[in-house]
Amino acid sequence: MKNFLKEFKDFIATGNMIELAVAVILGLVVGAAIKSFTDDILMNIIAAIFGKPDFSGLTLTIGKGVIKYGNFINALIALVITGLVLFAIVKAYNKMRKPIEVAPPGPNEIDLLIEIRDALRARS
């Protein structure tokens, strides 16, 4: 049992586990922000354009069955908005992580002296 607890402590203390925990928490917070943006802002704009705050009431009746395609439209809108926000985050992250291009080093002193020597020989 002592060995099990030590292994579990080592597992929890690794950097990867901590990074995963931070990523999950950030993911939840970003997801909540995106959901709030979609529900509270974007859907109100859609309501102003189409006259409905969301599409969940849209249904199609076939015989005795009902197809609730409005919920699907709401889910698609949330998916597209989430995808766009995550794309913007990843694009900004990749831009930030790009290595700074360093100019290639110029010729050293020996190369310059050899070039001068060769130019002087060619003149003679």
- What are the phi and psi torsion angles at 65 (to 5°)? -95, 155
Local confidence pLDDT in tens for the 124 residues of the chain:
788 888 888 777 776 777 788 888 988 998 888 888 888 888 788 778 877 777 888 889 998 888 989 888 888 888 888 888 888 888 888 888 877 777 788 888 898 899 999 999 998 7
Residue 53 CA to residue 27 CA, distance in Å, equals: 26
End-to-end CA distance of the chain: 88
The pLDDT of residue 19: 79
Query: Which structural domains are found in the chain, ordered by start?
Result: 2-100 (1.10.1200)
State CA 45 to chain mean position distance.
25
